[in-house]
Structure 1
Amino acid sequence: MLSFNRRTKIFIFKEPTNMRESYDGLFNKAKTVLRKDPFSGHLFLFINKRSSSCKCLYYDGTGLVIIAKRLEEGLFSRINPRYKREIVLTQAEFSLFLKVQI
């Protein structure tokens, strides 16, 4: 069970991500591209090119956690990579994002 507090933000990495990347690769993208501290306790969301798979990187206070989901049907909502500002989801929006759209 994953639990967040009200201060937890969900940052979306807008560019398609290779789902073979693991802790170090996702950590590096959060730190260098998003310019956020991966140890902050915020969640970082990465989506593949086909929008059929996503990974989340989260620091729970003791170590990094990766949460992954691959859809068998449907796609995740598409993210516009040309949107200039950062995209931050609330916990409610994140829950809706993880739902499939058929």
Structure 2
Amino acid sequence: MINQRSIDKVYLAKGSTDLRKSIDGLAAIVQESFQLDPFSPCLFVFCNRQRDKIKILHWEHNGFCSIIAV
């Protein structure tokens, strides 16, 4: 469960993302495309081409948390 008090911002990726990407792949998108730190206390939200699924990347204390919502 994500602690809401630890979230500073929410970033929504523009366009579609291949949701088959691993956590490392999504973190690389955050670093290279957004030029942001994936370890920051933010949520990074990606959606698929059909816009019916989202994947959220968030750094918890000791690792990434990836949530898929349909």
Amino acid in structure 2 at the alignment position of 1:56? I
Aligned length: 70
TM-score (norm 2): 0.91
Bigger share in strand = 2
> 1:2: how far off?
1.6
The alignment yields a C-alpha RMSD, in angstroms, of: 1.3
Structure 2 equivalent of residue 44 of structure 1: 44
> 1:5: how far off?
1.8
Aligned partners of 2:19 and 2:55 also within 8 Å: yes
List, as ranges, runs of 4+ consecutive aligned residues in structure 1 with deviation greater than 3 Å.
none
Structure 1 equivalent of residue 57 of structure 2: 57
Aligned partners of 1:57 and 1:64 also within 8 Å: yes
Question: In 2, Cα distance between the equivalents of 1:56 and 1:9?
Answer: 13
Equivalent position SS for 2:5: coil
Distance 1:62 1:54, change over 3 A: same
Equivalent position SS for 1:2: coil
Of structures 1 and 2, the larger Rg is shown by 1
Deviation digits for residues 3-36 of structure 1, max 9, x if unmatched? Answer: 1227520101102001101111100111111111
TM-score (norm 1): 0.64
